[in-house]
Structure 1
Amino acid sequence: MPAAVFGILAAAGAALVAQNLLMARISASASTILIPLVLNSAVGLVALLGLLIARSGMPAIQEALGSFKVWNVLPGLLGSFFVFASILGYQRLGAAATIATLVTTQLGLGLVVDIMKSGSIRGYESAVAGALLLAVGAILVVFRPN
């Protein structure tokens, strides 16, 4: 099972690179970066609604609307910010620097969350060392001489 999950995550990482390249290209021909963000969100919403209805029928829409809470807006806002920052990074810094920065910060915060959940840094020493090496690598990628 871990190998299957690893494969799915690797495919998602590759898909994210492809998505960001396409979104940066779309935004280059648009008047604002908001255009590709709106298109991305609209396509995602239509696709997910279609899948939900195909899987569970119209009652699933009622269930989704009935379970809505105001704080449910946050993941969408955070996801939109992530896509916005990714497009901006691809345009201004390039793919490698953007990815290095995103991966480093995700790993760093992910480690903090895992350590806080476990209540101890014990067992995470090598992971912290690896994250620090990754951070140094990201800095070298982002601030490389042109």
Structure 2
Amino acid sequence: MKWMYVLFALAAGAMMPVQAGINLRLRGSLGDPVWAAAVSFGVGTLALLGYLLVSRTPMPTLGMAASAPSWAWTGGALGAFFVFATIILAGKIGATSMMAWLLAGQLIAALALDHFGVVGYQVHTVSWPRVFGICLLVAGAVLVNKY
């Protein structure tokens, strides 16, 4: 069953440079990366609301929403920053370099989040094989960026 999650992750990852390219084209039409990101998030919000209506997913109660820690509400802002960043990066360094550096940054952050067990993650201490793997990834990003 775990391989299904791997395939799901691969498919989701493959959509990231596609999304960045689509949003880059939208930026070209709208003339501004912030507007392109806002429209992208607006369309995504409508798609999610449509799914919730079709699936008849019950609305969370106010008590459920109030139980979330204050920092849990920042995910949308971080997502908006990510989409904005990909719109800028896709046009400046291309899809391959953009994805290599984004992935390197994601894994460096993930290593720290796992090690310290913050924002809801279980603790997975840093190990030399993990650090070595990330170093290889950063080296790969350097090569992709150079060539």
TM-score bin, normalised by smaller chain: 0.7 to 0.9
Match of 1:86 in 2: 86
**In the TM superposition, what is the alpha-carbon distance from 1:65 to its structure 2 partner?**
9.2
- CA distance change for structure 1 residues 29 and 139 in 2, over 3 Å: closer, same or farther? same
Residue 138 of structure 1, CA deviation: 1.0
**What displacement does 1:16 show?**
1.3
Please list, as runs of the form range in 1=range in 2, the aligned pairs for 1:68-83 lying within 5 A after superposition. Answer: 71-83=71-83
| Aligned counterpart, 2:132 | 129
User: 8 Å contact 2:114–2:125 — kept in the other structure?
Assistant: no
Distance in 1 separating the partners of 2:54 and 2:44: 15
CA RMSD across the alignment: 2.2
Unaligned runs of 5+ in 1: none
What is aligned with 2:65? Answer: 67
Q: Deviations over 1:66-104 (max 9, x none)?
A: 625654441010000000001110011111111111000
Calculate the TM-score normalised by the size of structure 2.
0.83
Identity of aligned residues (%): 30
- d(CA) in 1 for partners of 2:94 and 2:108? 22
Which residues of structure 2 form unaligned runs of 5+?
Answer: 118-122
Query: How big is each residue's C-alpha offset from its partner over 1:37-80, in whole Å with a ceiling of 9 and x where there is no partner?
Result: 121111111111111122236x51x6379625654441010000
Corresponding residue for residue 139 of structure 1 = 142
Q: TM-score, normalised by structure 1?
A: 0.83
Look up the SS of the partner of 1:135 in the other structure.
Answer: helix
Q: How far 1:30 moved relative to its partner?
A: 1.8
Aligned residues: 140
Matched residue, 2:43: 43
Secondary structure in 1 aligned to 2:44? helix
Are 1:25 and 2:53 matched, yes or no? no
Distance in 2 (CA, whole Å) between partners of 1:96 and 1:85 is 15
